[in-house]
Amino acid sequence: MQNIDRLILRLGEMTLKGKNRSRFEKTISEHVRAVLRPYPKAHVRREYGRMYVETGGESVEALIQVLKNVFGIMDIIPVKQTLPQLDDIIAAAVELIGEQQIEQLTTFKVSVKRVWKEFPHSSQDMNHLVGSPVLRAYPLLKVDVRQPEIELRVEIRDGAAYIYSELIPAVGGFPRGSNGKAMLLLSGGIDSPVAGWQSMRRGLEVECIHFHSYPFTSERAKEKVVDLTRVLAGYAGVVKLHVVPFTEIQTAFTTTGQDNLMITLMRRAMLRIATKIAEQQKGLALITGESLGQVASQTLSSMNAIERATELPILRPLVMTGKDEIIQIAKEIGTYNLSILPYEDCCTLFIPKSPTTNPNLRIIEKVESFLELEPMIERAVEQTELMIIEAGSPLQLASATINEDWF
C-alpha cells in the first residue's frame, strides 16, 4: 500500500445520537491522536461524520493496525488523493487497482460521486471515463454493476479527488469513555479481560480491581494481572488498576468451617470492596466476567445471593456468551495467552470440593455477621494499591528489578 496518501475513518453508530455527536467525534479524535503519537508524520483532520489521517509517509499498514482498535471507528478506507482532474483520477485509479494484484477473473465496477458540481463531467460519464482505461490496463477485470468483487469509488470534491476501493472493518462501538465509568473485577482468568474490553468498546471508562492474596498467591499472579491490564490499556490508552490485599478476609472465611459457602462469601466481600472503591472513583457500576452457569458461583441462584451484597448495578457483558466464543474474543484482543498462564489466583485457591450452587442467603448473612467483616473491608480498601498502567509501558512491577541498561 505504498501509494496510499490518506485514510478515511468512518465513524459508527454514534453518529445516530444527534446531540452527542460533536462530543463523541471529539473523543474519537483525541483517541486517534493518542494512538498516532508514535507516528509523528501522520496528521489527523476532522470532518462531519468522518476523520482523515494523512499518512505523511508513515507505514500505512502500521497506521491501520492501530486505528482498527480505536473505539467508535466503524471502518477504515485507504485512499489515493489527486487533483480533481480527469487524467490524474484515471492514473490514480489504474495504480490503485494494480496494488490488488489481480490474478484471476475478477468482477468490477466504478462508482463516482461528484460532490463538487463544477467538475466538467457528470457522474454517469465518469463511470465510463474511469472504467474503460482501468479495464484496458487489467484484462482480467470484468464489469458487474450488481455484485462486483471490487468496487472502485471516486469522490470528487472541490480541490481534491479521492479514489479508493477497499473498506477495512474496524472495532466499532462507542468512543472511549463516552458512556461513563465502571469498575471491572479483574481476575487472572479468561473471561474478565474480555468483559472489560467489551465494556470499553461500548464506551465505558473501565478501572480494574484485582484481589491479591499474598502469600497464598504469588507475585507472578499479580504481575499477570498487570500484564492483562496493560493489554486493555492498549485499547484505552491508560487504565487504572486497584490491587486489593485480600489475604485477611480470605483467611477469616476459611476459619468459619463453611467450606462450601467459601466462594459465595468471597465474592460478596469482593463486591463490597469494589463498591467502596467505585464510590471513591465515581464509578457507576461494577463489571464482571460472569457467564451464566459456567461455574458454581455463576448459577442464577448464586448470582442472586452474591449480587445482594452491592447496590450498584452489575454489568455482565458475557452472561449469555458461551466459553468457546469468549476464548475466541480473548485470542483476538490478545489476552488469552496471558490468561492461561498457570498462576494461582485467589479464586482458584482454596476451592472447596463441592461449592454450593444454591447458596442460602440466610446462612450466609449469619456467617458474615459473626465475622465482623466491616472493619476488615475498610482495611482492605485503605491498603489498596493503585497502579496506573499505560499502553505499551513496560511492567511497572518489573521495573523494580529490571535495569533497562542491561538490555
Partner 1 sequence: MKYFDYAATTPPYPEVIQSMAEIMQKHFGNPSSLHQYGEEADRLVRHAKEVTAQILGVKPSEIIWTSGATESNNFALKGAAMRGGRTQGHIITTRIEHPSVYECCRQLEQIGFDVSYIDPASDGIVRVEDIQNALRPDTIIVSIMHVNNETGAIQPIQQLADWLKKVQSRTLIHVDGVQGFGKLPVNIAQWNIDLYSLSAHKLRGPKGTGLLYVKQGTELFPLLAGGGQENGYRSGTENVAGIVGMTKALRLASTEQSALSERLLVWSEQLKIAIQSIEGLVLTNPSVSARHIVHFSYPGMKSEVILHSLEQQGCIVSTQSACSSRKAEPSRVLLAMGVEREHAASGIRISLGDQHTKQDIEHLIIALHQTVTQLRPLERRTR
Question: d(Cα 242, Cα 212) in Å, to the nearest integer?
Answer: 10
CB nearer partner 1, residue 382 or residue 404: 404
Is residue 294 a contact residue for partner 1 (CB under 8 A)?
A: no
SS3 for the chain, per residue? CCCCCEEEEEECHHHHCCCCHHHHHHHHHHHHHHHCCCCCCCEEEEECCEEEEECCCCCHHHHHHHHCCCCCEEEEEEEEEECCCHHHHHHHHHHHHHCCCCCCCEEEEEEEEECCCCCCCCHHHHHHHHHHHHHHHCCCEEECCCCCCEEEEEEEECCEEEEECCCEECCCCECCCCCCEEEEECCCCCHHHHHHHHHHHECCEEEEEEEECCCCCCHHHHHHHHHHHHHHHHHHCEEEEEEEECHHHHHHHHCCCCHHHHHHHHHHHHHHHHHHHHHHHCCCCEECCCCCCCCHHHCHHHHHHHHCCCCCCEECCCCCCCHHHHHHHHHHHCCHHHHCCCCCCCCCCCCCCCCCCCCCHHHHHHHHHHHCHHHHHHHHHHCCEEEEEECCCCCCCHHHCCCHHHC
Stretch that binds partner 1, among 177-185, 351-359, 378-386, 397-405 (CB under 8 A): 397-405
CB of residue 263 to partner 1, shortest distance in Å? 25
Cell 463523541 sits on residue:
24
Interface map 223-252 toward partner 1 (x if CB under 8 A): x-----------------------------
Choose which of 94, 252, 319, 395 interacts with partner 1 (CB under 8 A). Answer: 395
Is residue 407 near partner 1 by the rule CB under 8 A? yes
Interface region with partner 1, contact rule CB under 8 A, candidates 50-58, 154-162, 260-268, 396-404 = 396-404
38 is a contact residue toward partner 1 (CB under 8 A): no
Report if residue 59 touches partner 1, rule: CB under 8 A. no
Is 119 within any annotated ligand binding site? Answer: no
**Nearest CB to partner 1, comparing residues 83 and 398:** 398
Asked whether position 2 contacts partner 1 by CB under 8 A, the answer is no
N-to-C CA span, the chain: 34
Cβ(270)–Cβ(346) below 8 Å: no
Q: In the complex with partner 1, which residue's Cβ is closer, 73 or 338?
A: 338
Is the separation of the CB atoms in 206 and 184 below 8 Å?
yes
- Using the contact rule CB under 8 A, the part of the chain among 24-32, 190-198, 231-239, 398-406 near partner 1 is 398-406
Nearer to partner 1, 145 or 402 (CB): 402
Nearer to partner 1, 313 or 394 (CB): 394
Nearer to partner 1, 180 or 394 (CB): 394
CB of 2 to partner 1, least distance (A): 13
User: What is the spatial distance between Cα 314 and Cα 302, in angstroms, rounded to a whole number?
Assistant: 14
Residue 63 assigned ligand-binding role: no
Name the region of 66 (left: φ>0; alpha: ψ -120 to 50; beta: rest). alpha
13 binds partner 1 (CB under 8 A): no
Q: Which stretch binds partner 1 (CB under 8 A): 24-32, 52-60, 362-370, 390-398?
A: 390-398
**CB of 108 closer than 8 Å to CB of 149:** yes
Residue among 63 and 182 whose Cβ is closer to partner 1 = 63
> 132 vs 337, which CB is nearer to partner 1?
337
Residue 405 makes contact with partner 1 by CB under 8 A:
yes
289 assigned to a ligand binding site = yes
CB of 107 to partner 1, least distance (A): 23
187-226 binders of partner 1 (CB under 8 A) = 218-220, 223
Is residue 337 part of the contact set for partner 1 (CB under 8 A)? Answer: yes
CB of 385 to partner 1, least distance (A): 18
Q: Is 267 annotated as a binding residue?
A: yes
Taking the least distance from each CB to partner 1, the nearer of 103 and 118 is 103
List residues binding partner 1 (CB under 8 A): 218-220, 223, 337, 394-395, 398, 401-403, 405-407
**Binding site members for ATP:** 185-186, 210-211, 267, 289, 298
**Binding site members:** 185-186, 210-211, 267, 289, 298
